[in-house]
Amino acid sequence: MVSEEQLTKIRDTIARFPQKRSAVLPVLHLVQEELGWLSPQAQDYVAELLGLPPIKVHEVASFYTLFNKKPVGRYHLQVCTNIACMLRNSGEILQAIQKKLGIKPGETTADQRFSVSTVECLAACGGAPAMQVNSDYVENLSTERLTAYLAELP
């Protein structure tokens, strides 16, 4: 399901834990890193690697919002909707994304380039409004800064 290189990383990660099941979060992250999302089959694969019942891995994957349970675009835009960001106009940022890309939260552009989601908190209150793009944070957003940022993406 994953490349040999990624499987080596997974095995090295598992080896760092006294019990294999304790590696479920980092292993899910490594699988998602390569596949882009965690299909039910990918979750079953992780369960097999860790010697866990599949339901245990499904429970973890479905609890954490950092795991994508459906395919996302090349750039996954996650806009914070918590109070600090809302007070600093994250709603305008979300509207600007929807207008520019023509998609709503939970959707992906037809070319599979962008997906947009709302998240409860990115823990970046000091840089509100904030957005996470894949694993990078973009803080102190304005609609102008958002437009410039999106234009710079390859």
- Predicted pLDDT of residue 66: 86
Task: Give the per-residue pLDDT at 65.
Answer: 80
Sequence spans of domains, the chain: 4-63, 75-152
Joined tokens for residue 124: 């970046």
What are 113-140's pLDDT values in tens digits? Answer: 999 999 999 999 999 999 999 989 999 9
CATH topology of domain 4-63: Arc Repressor Mutant, subunit A (1.10.10)
Q: 132, 138 in Cβ contact below 8 A?
A: yes
Q: How confident is the model over 97-124, as a mean pLDDT?
A: 96
Q: What is the pTM of this model?
A: 0.83
What is the pLDDT averaged over residues 7-19? Answer: 97
Average pLDDT score, the chain: 96
pLDDT confidence band for 45 (50 / 70 / 90): very high
| pLDDT at position 99 | 97
Answer whether 36's CB lies under 8 Å from 68's CB.
yes
Q: Which fold has domain 75-152?
A: Glutaredoxin (3.40.30)
Mean pLDDT over 59-80 rounds to 94
Q: Are 46 and 57 within 8 A, CB to CB?
A: yes
Mean pLDDT of 5-29: 97
Banded pLDDT at 58 (limits 50, 70, 90): very high
